[in-house]
Copies of this chain bind each other. A is one copy, B any other.
């Protein structure tokens, strides 16, 4: 394949299957392992973009499904692209829209061509095909573009998972062709393929090989964190990652809890995205070294301690649990702001801890102690 212009990945340290690295993009570098905050509709919810950056995020994720419906990809393009629109000049990865089409839209109908669906916002009808997904992501100006795939539901029989995976591989080929026809690599965009195959190692291996034959700038593992459980997810990652090129970033989509991330890095994953820190922030949950705290709980009502003095984040240090409890109970926007901020600080700090463990050659021990506690 034509390598994306200005896009590269270099492993800087490794420890077993785990590694640290740097993804170079025309819009700046991404330290891996990387957690990508989710910026669904052009905003990491309840966060200023500058604050997201200060926490250490090198890249955020944008949702093609949400953005194609509102404000619309063509409108974003007329306004100068997603980076300018949302005031985030650093790298952006966009998903293909496939996952949200299946989970959020109405009257969706999937066939070889793509997915026909009605918007959950206004009922308008849209076709999302591999070609249209690439077109939308290019209109948005995404730095890392994902192929359209079908996220195989769980549970699925071997035959269901195989047929679904094969459809995704045909779509991956069409996505690659559409990407190349638009001259996207030369314009600095990168394209990632997505491995499917449910929890069946044989299918995951076949899918990985099919994608490698097509050739991508990076490889995602899709269709996990859909109910199969952590053990099964780890087993699937462990049986998939070895079939992906060492010199390309690996991205575990939609994952996950802190312990999921630790266990997946241990098995060779470099990139993650998840709504958990942001969504939990809006429902009163706080990630801490003591576990997840539900700030609605009355036990916090007179607790003067901050969430975590060890984090260099004002939301973690400058407000008491009692105050956060009050804000959550009172449904104050500031409660969502502070808890989201804190949770993202917790996640970005976790990524730095993981990277340090890999560099120190003690990732296995770090993972064991982390997972024993979690």
Write the residues of chain A forming the contact surface with B, with a CB cutoff of 8 angstroms: 41-43, 45-48, 50, 70-71, 75, 78-80, 85-87, 282, 301-302, 304, 314, 318-320, 322-323, 326-327, 329-330, 332-334, 336-337
Residue of B nearest to A66 (CB): B330
| The 6 nearest A-B residue pairs measured at CB | A46-B333, A43-B334, A71-B326, A41-B330, A43-B332, A79-B322
Residues of B within 8 Å of A80, CB to CB, are 304
Is there an interface contact between B47 and A79, defined as CB atoms closer than 8 Å? no
Is there an interface contact between B301 and A337, defined as CB atoms closer than 8 Å? no
Query: Given A70-B329, A337-B337, is A302 in contact with B46 using a C-beta cutoff of 8 Å?
Result: no
Residue of B nearest to A327 (CB): B43
Residue of B78, B318, B322, B334 near A46 (CB, 8 A) is: B334
How many angstroms from the CA of A313 to the CA of B210 in the assembled complex?
51
Residues of B within 8 Å of A71, CB to CB, are 301, 322, 326, 329
Least CB distance from A279 to B in Å reads 12
- Chain A interface, DSSP helix/strand/loop, else mixed: loop
How many angstroms from the CA of A42 to the CA of B329 in the assembled complex?
12
Is there an interface contact between A302 and B75, defined as CB atoms closer than 8 Å? yes
How many angstroms from the CA of A80 to the CA of B302 in the assembled complex?
11
Least CB distance from A325 to B in Å reads 8
Between A and B, 23 residue pairs with Cβ closer than 8 Å are A41-B326, A41-B332, A42-B327, A43-B327, A43-B334, A45-B332, A45-B333, A46-B334, A48-B334, A70-B326, A71-B301, A71-B329, A75-B301, A75-B302, A78-B302, A79-B320, A79-B322, A80-B304, A85-B323, A87-B318, A87-B319, A333-B333, A337-B337
Is there an interface contact between A86 and B333, defined as CB atoms closer than 8 Å? no
Residues of B within 8 Å of A322, CB to CB, are 71, 75, 79, 85
How many angstroms from the CA of A326 to the CA of B43 in the assembled complex?
10
Least CB distance from A268 to B in Å reads 35
Is there an interface contact between A302 and B79, defined as CB atoms closer than 8 Å? yes
Residue of B nearest to A334 (CB): B43
Is there an interface contact between A323 and B75, defined as CB atoms closer than 8 Å? no
* Residue of A47, A48, A86, A319 with most chain B CB atoms under a 10 A cut-off: A48
How many angstroms from the CA of A50 to the CA of B319 in the assembled complex?
12
How many angstroms from the CA of A46 to the CA of B336 in the assembled complex?
9
Query: Given A70-B330, A79-B304, A301-B75, is A86 in contact with B45 using a C-beta cutoff of 8 Å?
Result: no
Residues of B within 8 Å of A86, CB to CB, are 323
Query: Given A45-B333, A304-B80, A332-B43, is A50 in contact with B323 using a C-beta cutoff of 8 Å?
Result: no
* Residue of A75, A87, A323 with most chain B CB atoms under a 10 A cut-off: A323
Is there an interface contact between A45 and B334, defined as CB atoms closer than 8 Å? yes
